[in-house]
């Protein structure tokens, strides 16, 4: 991913924080002819038995993408953080042009299919429990193993052994303190929740 130095993020904790918060990702791969395939999936980060970074998720067995995977081809998983239009009218400096602030993480890795019920069922249970955790009355406990077992034939689980992670947080770090403060103030006052998320992220990310 092209990342100018002011926007480069290498802190693993910051990268994993974005992955955890914006976990609905795009998984991209190539087929045997070089064609691109993509799926939009809930993806969680886990630490493997040897301390390695691993992503876990699943897709419908009917999805043709997983049938194209081999041990030699990397997958690319895109995590899309908040983003917002930046008006030049928010800067103290002039003349300026519009731009876009955003945060994104690209994760590369090798896939391993998980089809046996003994491994797939706990994985699905873990995904469900994770996303139900924020509910007032989590539904996970009401999903019996018997019910989930009936779903397994239609699903394919997989984990991605991470080979590298790249992160861009383009948050006006290349602007003057006055210009950056103007952007933060405008986004924080916006009616758009995502604009406000960008403002918070800018405040949390020093220039």
Give the model confidence (pLDDT) of 63-110 as tens digits. 999 999 987 899 999 999 999 999 999 999 888 899 999 999 999 999
Nearest to 56 by CA among 117, 123, 115, 108: 123
Is-contact 55 108, C-beta < 8 A? no
Q: How many residues does the chain have?
A: 207
Is-contact 183 90, C-beta < 8 A? yes
For 110-119, what is each residue's pLDDT tens digit? 999 998 988 9
Torsion sign (Cα): 83, 89, 91, 93: positive
Fold of the 5-204 domain: Pnp Oxidase; Chain A (2.30.110)
- Higher pLDDT: 15 or 133? It is 15
* Bond before 95 cis per omega within 30 degrees: yes
Q: How confident is the model at residue 143 (pLDDT cuts 50, 70, 90)?
A: confident
**Segment 133-151 mean pLDDT:** 78
- pLDDT surpassing 80 at residue 142: no
List beta partners, residue 3.
none
Distance (Å, rounded) from C-alpha 77 to C-alpha 28? 6
pLDDT of residue 140: 67
- pLDDT surpassing 80 at residue 145: no
Cα dist. 96→86, 92, 99 in Å? Answer: 11, 10, 9
**Segment 174-178 mean pLDDT:** 95
Q: How confident is the model at residue 196 (pLDDT cuts 50, 70, 90)?
A: very high
Distance (Å, rounded) from C-alpha 85 to C-alpha 49? 42
């Amino acid at each position: 991913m092209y990342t100018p130095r002011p926007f480069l993020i290498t802190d693993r904790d910051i990268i994993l924080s974005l992955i955890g918060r914006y976990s609905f990702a795009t998984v991209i791969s190539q087929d045997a002819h070089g064609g691109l395939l993509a799926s939009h999936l809930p993806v969680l980060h886990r630490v493997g038995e040897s301390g390695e970074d691993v992503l876990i998720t699943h897709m419908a067995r009917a999805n043709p993408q997983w049938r194209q995977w081999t041990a030699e081809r990397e997958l690319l998983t895109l995590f899309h953080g908040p983003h917002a239009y930046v008006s030049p009218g928010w800067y103290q400096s002039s003349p300026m042009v519009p731009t876009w602030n955003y945060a994104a993480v690209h994760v590369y890795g090798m896939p391993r299919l998980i089809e046996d019920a003994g491994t797939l069922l706990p994985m699905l249970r873990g995904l469900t429990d994770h996303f139900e955790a924020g509910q007032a009355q989590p539904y996970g406990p009401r999903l019996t193993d018997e019910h989930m077992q009936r779903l397994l034939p239609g699903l394919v689980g997989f984990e991605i052994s991470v080979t590298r992670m790249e992160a861009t947080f383009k948050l006006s770090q290349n602007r003057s303190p006055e210009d950056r403060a103007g952007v933060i103030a405008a986004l924080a006052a916006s009616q758009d929740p995502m604009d406000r998320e960008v403002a918070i992220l800018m405040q949390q990310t020093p220039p």
